[in-house]
Structure 1
């Protein structure tokens, strides 16, 4: 069975960051995603997609995004339900983010990083660009290729 979702859009608000009782970071966010066609009146319609991210993915969203940030999400659709105070069953469908891609420019991400809450007490950490240390060469042998 296949359950795979890829979406790109803008955050409608800063992500809601929380921690579980066992200290696992979780982020709840909403992405505004334009439809690829115009409506009958010539305007683009927008879908608002609820997304939940866990652990390192949630941390990246906390550190490098804010309302209006353009991001790409790869994940899966999940449906859950609960009974509300009125005794009615409520169903929630959301995307569980497994990977996040920061689509804004580098200056936008640096601005978010320098203005993030609690940045003064927390170490700066590494940015996605730091992971490559400026070396763009990759050593791959023919044996590593799947074809």
Structure 2
């Protein structure tokens, strides 16, 4: 089974394109997702691809720093770069129906600066403001 569910914040405004020929909408974005390793907070940057009407809605209503939930599948692909090298990409493809859920807009922090920034060699955008807050008060959770 290939299923993934992610909650994170957009590192940049989503990029909307239309596929030549078919005219289908596609939206690419990167999610910044908090993780804790040995008590230290770190961030993973995950590329996401969204197709169809969801792509258009995401591009129209979400901006850098917005919180979003994505459900979909992991996909790997390769392509030949302009310099002749073979490049490999691993990304999350959102489910066609209900794969994108808008959770909130960018919060306004007191300092106004980005707490995280994406590595400069990554082609998917910059950092984001305000850390992810998770409500774990649901007592019906089995774990």
TM-score category, normalised to shorter length:
0.5 to 0.7
Q: Aligned pair count?
A: 102
Q: Taking structure 1 as the reference length, what is the TM-score of the superposition?
A: 0.65
Partner of 1:128: none
Do residues 32 (structure 1) and 32 (structure 2) align? yes
Bigger proportion of residues as helix: 1
Structure of greater relative contact order (alpha carbons < 8 Å, 6+ residues apart)? 2
State how 1:9-48 maps to structure 2 within 5 Å: 9-21=8-20, 22-35=22-35, 37=36, 39-40=37-38, 42-48=39-45
The Cα of 1:62 is off from its aligned counterpart by: 1.4
Kindly state the Cα deviation for residue 59 of structure 1 after the two structures are TM-superposed.
Answer: 1.5
Q: Whole-Å Cα distance in 2 between the matches of residues 9 and 80 of structure 1?
A: 23
* Distance across 1 between alignment mates of 2:64 and 2:46: 14
1:1-147 alignment, distance < 5 Å: 2-21=1-20, 22-35=22-35, 37=36, 39-40=37-38, 42-98=39-95, 99-104=99-104, 108=105
Asked if the contact 1:8–1:70 (Cα under 8 Å) also holds between the matched residues in 2, the reply is: yes
- Conserved 8 A contact 1:57-1:97: no
Structure 2 runs not aligned, ≥5 long: 107-143
Q: How far off its partner does 1:11 sit?
A: 0.2
Q: What TM-score comes out, normalization by structure 2 length?
A: 0.67
Over aligned residue pairs, what C-alpha RMSD do you find?
1.6
Choose 1 or 2 for highest CA Rg. 1
